[in-house]
Structure 1
């Protein structure tokens, strides 16, 4: 059951990432890896929120957490694409863009996961 949840979630997340990144590149252009940055920041926000919503200790939560966090959001976010795109920027001589990509990804993803966590805490306390 757990493996099936991760596998199904991964297929959904990877498909969503492909569509979201393609749409982002179509709108913003391909001179910077905007699509990967966007999916990583958005995924971090949602993961932070779900950390509060789906605590590990509850009985029914483990499979849902595996489906949503490990599967869907693990497939949606992508460190490997971030790494490859940053390497490509370096190889193409765009060192400033590569540095900006690294900085934006680290800072925005941290802020996003923290914001999601705080939102989850705020909504969980009220609900």
Structure 2
């Protein structure tokens, strides 16, 4: 049964990732991976919230964690794509774009996770 919850969450997360990243990419219309950066920041914020509610507050059961954290957010965030895009920019010698993207992704996602945890704790 856990695989069913993870699979359902993963399918929803992957579709959401595609829709959000594509919409942002089209909206920004720039040669910078804003879509991937956005889903990583959103996903990091969301996993901070999910962790507080599902793990620390023990809301729901294991199937909620499997669906939301492992399935949905596991498929929604895209650090594998982040890695490929970073290497691609480095190979193209787009140094400023590559290092900006890597720095913003790392610091921004860590901050977004912390912000999600803080927000959840402050309203619980």
TM-score (norm 2): 0.94
Q: Name the Cα RMSD after superposition.
A: 1.4
Q: Deviations over 1:56-77 (max 9, x none)?
A: 6848421101100110011100
> Using the alignment, how far apart are the partners of 1:59 and 1:36 within structure 2?
30
| 3-state DSSP of counterpart to 2:55 | coil
Paired residues, number:
124
2:54–2:60 Cα contact (<8 Å) kept:
no
1:113 aligns with 2:120: no
Runs of at least 5 residues in structure 1 that lack an aligned partner in the other structure = none
Correspondence for 2:49: 49
> Using the alignment, how far apart are the partners of 1:112 and 1:58 within structure 2?
21
2:6–2:70 Cα contact (<8 Å) kept:
yes
TM-score (norm 1): 0.92
Correspondence for 1:14: 14
Question: Counterparts of 1:22-101 in structure 2 under 5 Å?
Answer: 22-55=22-55, 58=58, 60-101=60-101
Runs of at least 5 residues in structure 2 that lack an aligned partner in the other structure = none
Q: Deviations over 1:6-47 (max 9, x none)?
A: 111111101100111100110112411100000000000010
Quick check: 53-62 or 108-117, which moved more?
53-62
Question: Structure 1 residues 47, 21: CA separation in 2 closer, same or farther (over 3 Å shift)?
Answer: same
